Structures are given as structure tokens and as C-alpha cells.
């Protein structure tokens, strides 16, 4: 139904007498009235006309072939408007006309008194009264509508419930459809909820669609209203309007299918912020908005904005309470558990739940049983296989997280410039589906060390918010505390195990010598042994005490190495000098075992500053081990050469070699191989490596079963020529 100009009077003339109808038309022409007349000759025809068009007044004869004027009056009162009714009466029908006026007719005109002046006077009066009543009813309906809106908005503070109620408030009372959009950023608006009098059309207005401000936003009613803070009023939608208002071809198709004929876009503002926009429109009903409707809807928009803001504040409050509770439970978990693997799994699961992520992961660095660094992970909501497919594509974001020690949030990985683009712009995959939203936070200890990162993914874009950032940062802080505590706990456990190992080794390796000493002393004291036998027992006791002293000294040395307090006395030494002294020291032991101890010539000598006794101790341990494990008839060789700024020494044997399984633990204190019948306390190699490192050098080993073993260590050169003998610099103690 279209709205006509105000100065045009639309009249429905209902009379079965052609002469009477002609008389009415003649009177209207004579009065030069701007009247549009529609004629009906029966009650049925009048009802049909009232159902398809809108009239300002109905002029009806009381007597009709299929009923009376009362039936037409009832139909008019039920029609939109409703129009005023004037009764045409014949001779003697005045009493009936009065009865009809009591039932709602505005006036009556006896046919015998019909004149242009009388007819126009009656029409003007009836129309003015009807219009006044319509305005009064409209004002009352508007007042009731606003009251109902306030009541509905006050029924719940739940955010999603509030969104749905806002979308349904005006439908069908003051709109055929309504759409609520929320501001998500300076250039992004999201469709949050919608309602339509026809469900099949309402299905087109699915929530979640985002609109991006591109180019000139003035043509977009939505962006214009939100940007200016003023309502955009389109009383009559023209065909050209659709192309101007559409955001893109898809949106244009939607607008044409909705086919609005009149609409208003209302900005929703609260506490100085624009929260979104509410679009209300007439379409299938054919109704149009006027200035009064705009005033009412602007009033409603203020209440809607307040309710929306309250719901947001309530949601934020609930989320903050939930966040605090999550962190509290997490804190309880951390303080109650010291096992690192269980802590990180609990952290991952709680954080995934708190952020609403589809999956979560915790990649972290931990120390294994040997104290070596290892990269591990805990997963929640994703299989290891799916995570492995995803992780390479997010490597640039993870690198940024570690390097910058800062949180990274990606709204949509398909639009993320820091990631390598895949064919077709496809998203990365995990959790069996596309990953669009991504959130990562580093786990940083109090000393600044980055020990891991928390990662979260979701298949929908924009799934993570600033609140999620705060949650993850809080959880990352708790995780850092957990790491610190777990490391202290594991360190204490390792110290306890080391103590137990040491006690076991010391008790074993000291008990046997003590038994030897006790036995020898008893023989000397209780039996009158010949002098040679007595001397032999005393020599055994002396060698045994020497071995005990060496064990005690080794314990002191390994403790000094690990605590950084190993005492060294530096002097200038020549490479050849040091190598030759070590060879002379170890040759008798090699000969005793039937082995060849070779010392390769050093090409070009150089000097270094080191502790002579400590370096000989290194050679003693390395060559001693080689001699110990090389079969009779084998060969042990020593050598040295120069590298850039370093002296390189090596000890090589033709023994059985070391298995790949044992190599990683070779320098662990108290560690001995499976066949340790010839092994000592397991301290020699850790001490040798520690001495070299204290001097600023390194030690490595190369070995394989069946091809012998080669130990190599380096020491920094002093830069001057060799003294060829004792150091020319005064000895200095250092640690």
C-alpha cells in the first residue's frame, strides 16, 4: 500500500444506486475537491476495497443489496487507518443513521439535502476527526511500544539474549524486519542478530556477516549512521538506492530480496561510544515511516543502547569473575603439583577452556635426566598428527612470540601477512579443520629466559578478544612460576639422586680398600710374618691408601668443577712440552699392559697459559682410560696441532669403542658403562672435561663399537712464543 500526498482525499463511495453515486461525483466536481473516488455497489465490494487500499473516508448508503451500512462500518473500523465513515440516508432513515453514529460513524447526510458545500463540510470534519483519533491512537501505541520495549530489555542481562531481543523488538509492530550490527573495530561492523516477519526471508539474515569500510562510506546508510551518530531516514526507497547502499554484490542481492520500501538506521550510543546500529524497515506490508515514527524509534534506540551497554558490562563482569576463578584454580593446581609434565597439561587444558579455543598447545623446554635441554609439548583438543600439520605454517608467528617476548593475536590467518601464503589463500589446518584465529603468548621466567609458549587456535575468524589476551598473559605468568618451581624441584631431585649415587659409589669404592687395609693390618699384628711378607703387606696398605686418596681428591675435584670453584694455577706452557711430559708419565703404565703408547710429532710449537698439574690430570684420565680398555697388543696414540687461536690435543685408542647409546652419558658423573669391571668411580671424564672448560676450552668424543675411541680437547693459545720450560709468568690461583 503506497502513501499518497497529504492534500489528496481518498474516498470510498458505497451505494448500489447509480443515480446517487452520480450525484455525489457531481457535488465533488462542483466543489472542485481534490478527491480520488473508488466506488463499490455492495458490502462485499466495499470489504474487498478496504482490504486492498487505504482510504481517508467512506461514504456509505445504509441500504445495500447484500447487507446494511452497519456491515460496511464494521469493515471500515477493522481496516488500516481506519477511515472515517459518513452515512447517506434516504427519507425516514435518520434514526438508523444516528444509531450508526453511536457505533462509530462520523456524520450522516440525507440524500435530499446533498450539496457540494454540505458534502465537503461533512468530509472535512470527518477526516479531521479521524486523523486526530489516528494520531492519538498512534501516540498511545508508541507510548505502549516504548514501555513494552523497556520491559523486555529489562528482563535479562545475558548478552546473547539481549542481542536477540533487540532484533525482535520492532517486529512486527514498527518494522517488517530488523537487523542489529555491532562495531568490532574502526572499519569492521558485524551482523549480530536479525528478525523478519517472514521466517524464510529472516533466514537470509544470518548472524556473523562482517562489513568492512572501504572507499567512501557515505553511501552506506549503516556506516553513515554509525560514523555520524545521527539516524539515517529513508522514507521512500527508490530503485537506485539499492546500488548506492550495498556493500558488495552479495549484499546487493540480499537487499533486493528483502525489498525494503522505507527504512531507518539508528546509531546505538552509550557513554560516549558507538556500540553499533539498528536497522528497521518496512517491506512486505507496504507501510512507510514518518517523522513521528523516527522520533519514537530514536527514543527506543537510546534505551536499546543502554540495555546493550549494560549487557556488555554484565558480560565483562562475568568474564572477569570467570577469569579470576580460572586463574585461582590454576594457581591451586600449580601449588599442589610439582611434576612439570602434569603441570603443563593442566595449564594447557584450563587455558584452552578459558579462552574458548578449539584447541590449545603448550610448547616448552625442559631438562631431561642428564640435565640436557629438550623441547616438549602438551596438547588439548587436538591430536599430535593434526598439530604437526599446523605448526609449520605458524612458525613465523611463534618466532615473533619468542623473539619479541610478546603476545601475538591473529584475527584471521588467511589474511596474516607474516605467514607464507598457501595456494588459494587457504587457512592452516589443525583440529581436523581450518585454523583462522590464532593466539600465542610466551612463557618468560623472572630472569628473562623464554622457556616456552602457549598456543591456541579456532576455526572462526576473530574468535579471540582482548579478554582472552589478558587470560593467556595471566596463565603464562602462572606457567612461568610453575616452571621455576618444577625446575627447583627437579634440581633438588637430581641433587638427591646425585647424593645417593655418590654415597653408593663412595661406600662401595671405600669399603673394599678398607677391607684390604684391615686384612693387611690384622696379618701384621696377629701373625709373626717374615720381613719380606710384612713389607709386602705394608706396600699393599700404602697402595690402597693412595687409591682412597685419589677417590677423595676426585670427589673434591668434581665438586669444584660443578660449583665453579675448581682451583687452578696458570703458567705459560708449550704444546710440545706438555704433550711430551704426559707421554713420559703414562708410558710405564702402557708398557705394563702390553700396549704401545705413541706420541705424534707436533708441527710448529705454540704457547698456552694453563695449570700444568691440572692438564697432566686431564691426560692421565684420558690416557689411563684408553690403556684400561684397550686389549693387550693394542695401540694408544697422543697428538696435538694448532687451529685458529687454539691448541688441539687428542688421545686415540684401538679399544672396543663406545656404543651410541652410551655416548650421551659419557661425561655424567658416577656414570659407568654396562661392563664396568675395569671402570673406576665414574669421575675421571667429568673432571677432565670440567678442567678443560675452566681453561676456556672444549672436549668432544668420537667413537663407535669396534673401531676405538678418540677424545679431543682444545685450549686457547696465549698468543706469545713458547717459553720452552717453566712459566715466565708468576703462578696465579683462580677459580
Query: What are the tens digits of pLDDT across the range 528-557?
Result: 778 888 788 787 777 777 766 766 766 666
pLDDT digits 0-9 by tens, 60-77 = 998 899 988 889 999 988
Q: Report the pLDDT value the prediction gives residue 204, as an integer from 0 to 100.
A: 86
CATH tag for 154-316 (out of 2.30.42.10, 3.30.1130.10, 3.30.450.40, 3.20.20.140): 3.30.450.40
The number of beta carbons lying within 10 Å of the beta carbon of residue 147 is: 10
* pLDDT(164) > 80: yes
* pLDDT(507) > 70: no
- Grid cell, residue 378, equals 602438551
* pLDDT(722) > 90: no
Q: What is the CA radius of gyration of the chain?
A: 49
| Stretch 662-686: mean pLDDT | 66
Check if the beta carbon of residue 122 is closer than 8 Å to that of residue 85.
Answer: no
- Residue 169 sits at φ, ψ, to 5 deg, of -60, -45
* pLDDT(281) > 80: yes
Higher pLDDT, 649 or 621: 649
* pLDDT(675) > 80: no
pLDDT digits 0-9 by tens, 588-619 = 888 888 998 998 877 777 888 898 888 888 89
Which of 68-82, 342-356, 668-682 is least confident?
668-682
Q: Report the pLDDT value the prediction gives residue 66, as an integer from 0 to 100.
A: 92
Q: Which residue has the cell 656414570?
A: 671
* pLDDT(443) > 80: yes
The C-alpha atoms of residue 686 and residue 670 are separated, in whole angstroms, by 9
What one-character-per-residue DSSP string does 307-357 give? HHHHHHHHHHHHHHHHHHHHHHHHHHHHHH---HHHHHHHHHHHHHHHHT-
What's the maximum distance between 2 C-alpha atoms anywhere in the chain? 171
Q: Report the pLDDT value the prediction gives residue 422, as an integer from 0 to 100.
A: 38
Strands 433-435 and 373-380: unpaired
Q: What percent of the chain has pLDDT over 90?
A: 17
Higher pLDDT, 476 or 729: 476
Domain segments of the chain as ranges: 9-140, 154-316, 348-493, 564-734
| Stretch 401-414: mean pLDDT | 80
Domain 9-140 fold is Rossmann fold (3.40.50)
| Stretch 421-440: mean pLDDT | 57
Q: Report the pLDDT value the prediction gives residue 280, as an integer from 0 to 100.
A: 94
Check if the beta carbon of residue 520 is closer than 8 Å to that of residue 538.
Answer: yes
- Grid cell, residue 480, equals 612461568
Res. 258 pLDDT band, cuts 50 70 90: very high
* pLDDT(259) > 90: yes
| Stretch 220-225: mean pLDDT | 86
Domain 348-493 fold is Beta-Lactamase (3.30.450)
Q: Report the pLDDT value the prediction gives residue 314, as an integer from 0 to 100.
A: 86
Name the DSSP letter for residue 717: B
Q: Report the pLDDT value the prediction gives residue 721, as an integer from 0 to 100.
A: 39
Q: Report the pLDDT value the prediction gives residue 4, as an integer from 0 to 100.
A: 38
Check if the beta carbon of residue 361 is closer than 8 Å to that of residue 379.
Answer: yes
Query: Is 564-734 in the same CATH topology as 348-493?
Result: no
Q: Report the pLDDT value the prediction gives residue 208, as an integer from 0 to 100.
A: 59
CA–CA distances in Å: residue 413 to residues 131, 361, 434, 439, 442: 60, 17, 10, 10, 19
The C-alpha atoms of residue 62 and residue 356 are separated, in whole angstroms, by 71
Q: What is the mean pLDDT of the chain?
A: 80
| Stretch 3-20: mean pLDDT | 78
CATH tag for 564-734 (out of 3.40.50.300, 3.30.360.10, 3.30.565.10, 3.40.190.10): 3.30.565.10
* pLDDT(712) > 90: yes
- Of 29, 53, 31, the residue nearest 39 (C-alpha): 53
Start-to-end C-alpha separation, the chain: 99
The number of beta carbons lying within 10 Å of the beta carbon of residue 399 is: 12
Higher pLDDT, 204 or 212: 204
Check if the beta carbon of residue 109 is closer than 8 Å to that of residue 126.
Answer: no
- Of 78, 52, 62, 71, the residue nearest 16 (C-alpha): 62
Amino acid at each position: 500500500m503506497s502513501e499518497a500526498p497529504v492534500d489528496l482525499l481518498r474516498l470510498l463511495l458505497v451505494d448500489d444506486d447509480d443515480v446517487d453515486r452520480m450525484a455525489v461525483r457531481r457535488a465533488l466536481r462542483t466543489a472542485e475537491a481534490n478527491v480520488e473516488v473508488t466506488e463499490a455497489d455492495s458490502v462485499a465490494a466495499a470489504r474487498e476495497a478496504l482490504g486492498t487500499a487505504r482510504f481517508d473516508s467512506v461514504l456509505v448508503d445504509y441500504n445495500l443489496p447484500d447487507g446494511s451500512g452497519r456491515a460496511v462500518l464494521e469493515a471500515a473500523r477493522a481496516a488500516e487507518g481506519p477511515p472515517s465513515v459518513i452515512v447517506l440516508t434516504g427519507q425516514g432513515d435518520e434514526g438508523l443513521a444516528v444509531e450508526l453514529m453511536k457505533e462509530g460513524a462520523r456524520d450522516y447526510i440525507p440524500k435530499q439535502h446533498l450539496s457540494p458545500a454540505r458534502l465537503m463540510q461533512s468530509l472535512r470534519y470527518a477526516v479531521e476527526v479521524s486523523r486526530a483519533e489516528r494520531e492519538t491512537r498512534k501516540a498511545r501505541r508508541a507510548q505502549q511500544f516504548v514501555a513494552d520495549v523497556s520491559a523486555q530489555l529489562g528482563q535479562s542481562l545475558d548478552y546473547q539474549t539481549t542481542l536477540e531481543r533487540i532484533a525482535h523488538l520492532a517486529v512486527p509492530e514498527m518494522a517488517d524486519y530488523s537487523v542489529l550490527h555491532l562495531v568490532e573495530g574502526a572499519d569492521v561492523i558485524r551482523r549480530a542478530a536479525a528478525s523478519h516477519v517472514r521466517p524464510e526471508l529472516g533466514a537470509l539474515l544470518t548472524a556473523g556477516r562482517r562489513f568492512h569500510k572501504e572507499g567512501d562510506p557515505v553511501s552506506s546508510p549503516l556506516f553513515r549512521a554509525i560514523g555520524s551518530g545521527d539516524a539515517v531516514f529513508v522514507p521512500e526507497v527508490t530503485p537506485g538506492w539499492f546500488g548506492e547502499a550495498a556493500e558488495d554484490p552479495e549484499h546487493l542481492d540480499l537487499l533486493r530480496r528483502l525489498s525494503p520500501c522505507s527504512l531507518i538506521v539508528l546509531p546505538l550510543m552509550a557513554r560516549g561510544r558507538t556500540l553499533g546500529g539498528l536497522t528497521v524497515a518496512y517491506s512486505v506490508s507496504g507501510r512507510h515511516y514518518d517523522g513521528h515514527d523516527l522520533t519514537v524509534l530514536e527514543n527506543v534506540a537510546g534505551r536499546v543502547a543502554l540495555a546493550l551497554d549494560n549487557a556488555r558490562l554484565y558480560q565483562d563482569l562475568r568474564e572477569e569473575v570467570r577469569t579470576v576463578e580460572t586463574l585461582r584454580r590454576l594457581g591451586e593446581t600449580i601449588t599442589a603439583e610439582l611434576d612439570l609434565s602434569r603441570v603443563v597439561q593442566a595449564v594447557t587444558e584450563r587455558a584452552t577452556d578459558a579462552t574458548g579455543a578449539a584447541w590449545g598447545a603448550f610448547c616448552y623446554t625442559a631438562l631431561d635426566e642428564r640435565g640436557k635441554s629438550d623441547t616438549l609439548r602438551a596438547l588439548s583438543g587436538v591430536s599430535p598428527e593434526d598439530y604437526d600439520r599446523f605448526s609449520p605454517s605458524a612458525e613465523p608467528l611463534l618466532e615473533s612470540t619468542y623473539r619479541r617476548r610478546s603476545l601475538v593475536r591473529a584475527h584471521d590467518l588467511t589474511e596474516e601477512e607474516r605467514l607464507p601464503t598457501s595456494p588459494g589463500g587457504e587457512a592452516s589446518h589443525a583440529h581436523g579443520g581450518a585454523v583462522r584465529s590464532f593466539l600465542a603468548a610466551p612463557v618468560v621466567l623472572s630472569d628473562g629466559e623464554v622457556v616456552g609458549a602457549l598456543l591456541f587456535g579456532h576455526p572462526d575468524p576473530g574468535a579471540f578478544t582482548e579478554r582472552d589476551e589478558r587470560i593467556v598473559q595471566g596463565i603464562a605468568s602462572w606457567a612461568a612460576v610453575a616452571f621455576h618451581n618444577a625446575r627447583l624441584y627437579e634440581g633438588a631431585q637430581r641433587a638427591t639422586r646425585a647424593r645417593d649415587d655418590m654415597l653408593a659409589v663412595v661406600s662401595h669404592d671405600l669399603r673394599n680398600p678398607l677391607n684390604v687395609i684391615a686384612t693387611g693390618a690384622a696379618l701384621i699384628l696377629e701373625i709373626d710374618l717374615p720381613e719380606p711378607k710384612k713389607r709386602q703387606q705394608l706396600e699393599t696398605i700404602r697402595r690402597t691408601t693412595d687409591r682412597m686418596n685419589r677417590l677423595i681428591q676426585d670427589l673434591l675435584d668434581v665438586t669444584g668443577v660443578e660449583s665453579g670453584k675448581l682451583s687452578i694455577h696458570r703458567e705459560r706452557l708449550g704444546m710440545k712440552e706438555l704433550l711430551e711430559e704426559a707421554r713420559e708419565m703414562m708410558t710405564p703404565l702402557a708398557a705394563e699392559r702390553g700396549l704401545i703408547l705413541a706420541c705424534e710429532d707436533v708441527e710448529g710449537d705454540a704457547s698456552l697459559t694453563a695449570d700444568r698439574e691440572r692438564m697432566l690430570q686431564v691426560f692421565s684420565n684420558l690416557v689411563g682410560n684408553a690403556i684400561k680398555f684397550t686389549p693387550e697388543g693394542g695401540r694408544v696414540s697422543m697428538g696435538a696441532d694448532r687451529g685458529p687461536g687454539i691448541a688441539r690435543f687428542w688421545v686415540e685408542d684401538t679399544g672396543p669403542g663406545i656404543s651410541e647409546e652410551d655416548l650421551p652419558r659419557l661425561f655424567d658423573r658416577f656414570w659407568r658403562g654396562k661392563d664396568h669391571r675395569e671402570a673406576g668411580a665414574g669421575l675421571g671424564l667429568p673432571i677432565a672435561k670440567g678442567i678443560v672448560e675452566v681453561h676456556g676450552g672444549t672436549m668432544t668424543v668420537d667413537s663407535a663399537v669396534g673401531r676405538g675411541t678418540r677424545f679431543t680437547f682444545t685450549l686457547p693459545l696465549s698468543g706469545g712464543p713458547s717459553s720452552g720450560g717453566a712459566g715466565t709468568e708468576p703462578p696465579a690461583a683462580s677459580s
